Amino acid sequence: MFRFRSQVILGLTTASLINVAVLAAPRAPQPGQPLPPRADRVWLGVDVLEERNFDGLKGQRVGLITNQTGVDSRGRRTIDMLAGRSDVKLVAIFSPEHGVGGTAEGAVANASDAATGVPIYSLYGETRRPTDSMLKGIDTLVFDIQDAGVRFYTYVTTMAYCMEEAAKHHIEFVVLDRPVPLGGEVIEGPVLDANRPSFTGYFPMPVRYGMTLGELAKMFNAENHIGADLEVFPLGNWHRGDAYDQTGLKWIPPSPNLRTVNEAFLYPGIEILQAGGVSVGRGTDKPFETLGAPWIEANAFAAALNRSEIPGVSFSSAEFTPNSDLYHGQLCRGVRITVTSRDSFRSMRVGLEMADVLHHMYTDHFDLDKINELLGSESTIDRLKRGDAPVDIIAGWTADLDKFRQMREKYLLYH
């Protein structure tokens, strides 16, 4: 079976053609063979697989780990493309948190795909990993899911767990790469404490790590010594600085509350706060763009945040009543969060500043310790308790972030 045994480099030439350079391998396209012009948008990993006529999967019995985001750049489901081929056998579908349709909350049951009849095994129900029986008869696992670019977003761990099981069962593992929604240059947040691995923290990396899933898979495989037979079908025409809304691709919410790219940018720093006892806008039409609780005084809270002069963001007082989740049916007072400059906006700075204000203004209501469930840095919590300024705490992350950048560099596929 042919696989890309070297990095595939896709990029625009001056003639606006996307060229593919592949080192010699059996049945590989000739080096420099051009792909059709698509200078207006990014090629997804599944597009590259399709352009190569599924050569890497022919003759294989495939298990596909996917959800509603698993589509090509024309909107066709990877499920349907694999199921419709006579030279590939799709034998199982595996779904992450929120299910194959991306709308479920809580545990997800096994099911079958209505269009193809292929069984769907939930990896967010009775098990978080594919079991021996689920993997029986599978030659290759294919991962095709859009990530959020955030350490505690569970699709990252689902991929890693599936890689571990693939290695254990001597099953090949293929990642069909997708863009980092927040762009792949900015890194922020503390590195996860080494003693805190969990389903929302698989690997000691920052909250926002600036890597595609293909790059993460390479890093996990090497640094965690997983030993998977891993191949990545890379992106074409994607540059590290590009956010998702600069790719020309349609945004498909990867989960129910990441409805827009703007919400995805807010998510890393705002999401950590919910465990402390505030609503982050779930159950409203503006998740992560609003934050509040019944016990907050909106004007005073907004004024305190604006006095911090956080770059790239402003706050205005707001009231809202969630129709689900925390404070369901209760009037919450708080703030509307507006990103004024994406270039200077840093969600983790916002999250820390908000945690600091909540801790000092509402000590009896806001539980600072609980935000560490996702933040994953005991020293950061300790410094907030001591009254250290958030900007100084962030400066204290520099050495760990530099060390992570140095390691990360070995696994980057794109410039």
Closest CA to 173 of 216, 112, 122: 216
> In which region does residue 37 sit, left (phi positive, over 0), alpha (psi from -120 to 50) or beta (all else)?
beta
What is the pLDDT, as a whole number, of residue 41?
Answer: 76
Distance from the Cα of residue 203 to its chain's centroid: 14
> In which region does residue 102 sit, left (phi positive, over 0), alpha (psi from -120 to 50) or beta (all else)?
left
φ, ψ of residue 21 to 5 degrees: the values are: -110, 115
For the whole model, what pTM was predicted? 0.91
Summarize pLDDT for 26-35 with one digit per residue, the tens: 232 332 333 4
Q: Are 384 and 356 in contact (CB under 8 A)?
A: yes
Packing angle between helix 347-361 and helix 378-386, nearest 10 degrees?
A: 50
All domains of the chain in start order, with CATH: 9-253+405-411 (3.40.50.12170), 261-376 (3.90.1150.140)
Summarize pLDDT for 263-297 with one digit per residue, the tens: 999 999 999 999 999 999 999 999 999 999 999 99
Residues 385, 390: Cα–Cα separation, whole Å: 11
Token couple for 39? 């200078």
Residues of the chain with pLDDT under 70: 1-40
How far, in Å, are 35, 51, 110, 212 from residue 45 at the CA level? 13, 10, 27, 11
For the chain, state the CA radius of gyration: 22
Summarize pLDDT for 209-232 with one digit per residue, the tens: 999 999 999 999 999 999 999 999
> In which region does residue 232 sit, left (phi positive, over 0), alpha (psi from -120 to 50) or beta (all else)?
beta
